[in-house]
Amino acid sequence: MPPEVNAVSDKPRFSVQTIKFTGDNLNMIGVIYIIKKTVYYLVRVILIMMFARALSSWIINDEDSKLNTFLYSVTEPFVIPVRMLVDKVESLRNLPMDISFMLTFMILGFVQVLLSFSNI
């Protein structure tokens, strides 16, 4: 749409549509903000637990310890979908390390970065 020309000043006049934040809009923005922050901090806690799981796998030799069992039970539901995708790739199946754990960690870190840069 071409800008309109004002007959008095011959300068283009652009019409800008503004959004009025009243009532329901403010409530919805507040709800979205709370959901975004909740997901952000949940992802942060999961990342911390995944880091603790990686450290405990190097330090604690007892696989039946309560700490290892807890960290494994909390973080494994996030690792399983990535592990299933990695298992479909033949060249990644026989690696000596668990690449799915690292990929999950990077994906969750990327989600956390995306949530921190959103404008709401």
**Per-residue pLDDT tens listing for the chain (120 residues):** 555 555 555 665 655 555 555 556 667 778 888 899 999 999 999 999 999 999 988 887 777 889 889 999 999 999 999 999 998 888 887 888 889 999 999 999 999 999 888 776
Q: Where are the domains positioned within the chain?
A: 24-117
CA angle 82, 84, 89 (to 5 degrees): 95
DSSP string, 7-33: TTT--EE---------THHHHHHHHHH
The CA angle 115-116-120, to the nearest 5 degrees, is 75
Nearest to 40 by CA among 119, 120, 113: 113
Say what the pTM is. Answer: 0.72
Query: How far apart are alpha carbons 101 and 81 in whole angstroms?
Result: 10
